[in-house]
Amino acid sequence: MKKKLVKTVHFRDIDFSQWYTDLCLKAKLISYSDVPGFFIYLPNGYFLWEMIQKFLNHYLKKSNHQNVYFPLLFSENLFQLEKDHIKGFAPETLIIDKISNQSLPSKLILRPTSEVIFSKYYSNIITSYRDLPKLFNQWCSVVRWEKNTKPFLRSKEFLWQEGHTVHASKKEALKETLYILNLYKKLGKKLLAIPFISGIKTEKEKFKGAVTTYAIETLMYDGQSLQAGTSHYLGTNFSKIFKIQFQDQNSVIQLAHQTSWAVSSRLIGAIIMVHGDDEGLVMPPYIAPIQIVIIPLRLNNSFLLTKVNFYYKQLFKKYRTKLDIQNKNIGWKFSHYELQGIPLRLEIGEQELKNDQITIFIRHNRKKIIINASELLINITELFKNIHQNMFDKALQRMTKNIYIANNYEEFKINLFKKGYVKMSVLANEAEEIIKKETGATARVILKEKLLNKICPVTHKKANQTILFARAY
């Protein structure tokens, strides 16, 4: 068995779930709160969320989306209107019946998602095709009374953004749905170093209230899939009920077409589960709260310290850099910053000083390189680019390698055991029910591929869809 000198966290291969929780707590991303199921986002964790906000805001604003803020509480009556929607959300929605010291105007909903309150507003202000499109987004938290909670992945309150848009036609609304889906994939590719598989959800798995749900999914290290974001085409489901109508260019009254879409703090869970290793977090360089830590190997050499300070000042202007001159054991420092997943560690000892060089430890592949101090900035820029690409490629390779094909139900079960995705052509819904019950796997997305077989191996009826299955968070 593998040995570790300093066992800071559980081994990833032995107890993945405990390894994950260890990392969240020990790298100080999150902390438990006084009410079970609620979490405190600590600076290291919240910073990741701020970087995600910055990335998405940049592209959303560029594409004419506008940020807004809609109330946390709204009346239950609104929520009851869309029957499928309420059915989907009712079990986890917090409905406030009674408060201690005040009277309530009516039962209130604590926002689990905001389709209904946006729709109500849109119905008040949209009258003409000239009012369209409306492209609103908000950053907020939502409350869902989940039973089994896990840091970042499932909690009674979580952070997210929710976009709610209104369009004059199905075509435009679908275009928006796909624009956002691609934006989420870009977020994965450029910032999180995470590849996403995307596709349409089955009827059984789609968002209640949507016509079509697109999702991005990705493979965690333990072989389970994580739904990391969704983009819904809502059709006229809400506009019918809330009367979001407009006069078109020919003065004909039309129902508006809507979309909604969201990513949440689950993405932080994905960063940990995709990239982390036995030594701790591995942060992709462009999102890392600290990108570079500089550790002088001697603290009693003033010339060395001057040099180190010089490097720090150079780097600090361009990168999130930390200089650690605490009087602590070097080994402790090394493992402390490895736990935090800081992409680069610069080591400067007397050897380096003499040769005007710097030793760089690269967190993600745990390799050391030596560079000339004069080429520091150029090297860092290049290193980040390579590290990011390598981390993305590694995750992509693992995901691609773990997509299996099943021609029959036995193969399905054997492949599922290998941990990953299994592709099979089935009779949707009916087969999904059986598969979920018997294997725990669910339909992740429908693949736009021709059928692998005409008969569904599970129901023995006519297959109608090729679906990517997996166990999922």
- Is 72 near a copy of itself (CB under 8 A)? yes
Does position 46 interact with a copy of itself (CB under 8 A)? The reply is: yes
By the rule CB under 8 A, 342 interacts with a copy of itself: no
Q: Which amino acid is at 161?
A: Q
Expressed in angstroms, the distance from the first to the final Cα of the chain is 28
Q: Which is nearer to a copy of itself, 79 or 184 (CB)?
A: 79
Calpha distance 280→27 (Å, rounded): 8
Q: CB-based contacts of 117: which residues, under 8 Å, 6+ apart?
A: 70, 71, 74, 78, 111
Closest by CA to 166, choosing from 134, 210, 213, 126, is 134
| Residues near a copy of itself (CB under 8 A), total | 56
CA dihedral over 256, 110, 31, 295, signed as positive or negative: positive
What are residue 134's phi and psi, to 5 degrees?
A: -115, 125
Compute the least distance from the CB of residue 94 to a copy of itself, in Å.
Answer: 5
The 84-103 contact track toward a copy of itself, x by CB under 8 A, reads: ------xx-xxxxxxxxxx-
Applying CB under 8 A, among 141, 224, 379, 453 the residue interacting with a copy of itself is 141
Among positions 19, 20, 55, 74, the unique one binding a copy of itself when judged by CB under 8 A: 74
Residue 394 to residues 194, 274, 345: CA-CA distances in angstroms? 9, 10, 21
Region binding a copy of itself by CB under 8 A among candidate stretches 15-23, 28-36, 348-356, 461-469: 28-36
Residues 6+ apart with CB under 8 A from 312: 294, 321, 323
Minimal distance, residue 156 CB to a copy of itself, in Å: 8
Distances (CA, A) of 429 to 90, 425, 426, 442: 22, 12, 9, 10
Q: Is 325 in the site for a copy of itself (CB under 8 A)?
A: no
Which of 72, 451 has the CB closer to a copy of itself?
72
Closest approach of a copy of itself to the CB of residue 456, in Å: 36
* Binding of a copy of itself by 120 (CB under 8 A): yes
Q: Are 232 and 210 in contact (CB under 8 A)?
A: yes
Instruction: Indicate whether 329 belongs to the interface with a copy of itself (CB under 8 A).
Output: no
Minimum separation from the CB atom of position 69 to a copy of itself (A)? 4
| Residue 472 · residue 225 · CB < 8 Å | yes
Complex with a copy of itself: residue 164 or 444, whichever CB lies closer: 164
φ, ψ dihedrals at 65, nearest 5° = -80, 150
Out of 11, 38, 316, 334, the residue judged to bind a copy of itself by CB under 8 A: 38
Q: State the number of CA atoms in the 13 A half-sphere of 247 facing the CB.
A: 4
Query: CA 67 from chain center: how many Å?
Result: 20
User: Whole-number minimum distance, CB 104 to a copy of itself, in Å?
Assistant: 9
Residue type (1 letter), 167? H
Residue 95 or 370: the one with the smaller Cβ distance to a copy of itself is 95
Among 2, 3, 105, 448, binds a copy of itself (CB under 8 A): 105
How far, CA to CA in Å, does 148 sit from each of 73, 94, 143, 145, 174?
A: 24, 16, 14, 9, 34
Q: Identify the residue among 3, 7, 36, 450 touching a copy of itself (CB under 8 A).
A: 36
81 belongs to the binding site for a copy of itself (CB under 8 A) = no
Site of interaction with a copy of itself (CB under 8 A): 31, 33-36, 38-43, 46-47, 49-50, 66-75, 78, 90-91, 93-102, 105-108, 110, 117, 120-121, 124-125, 136, 140-141, 143, 145, 156-157, 159
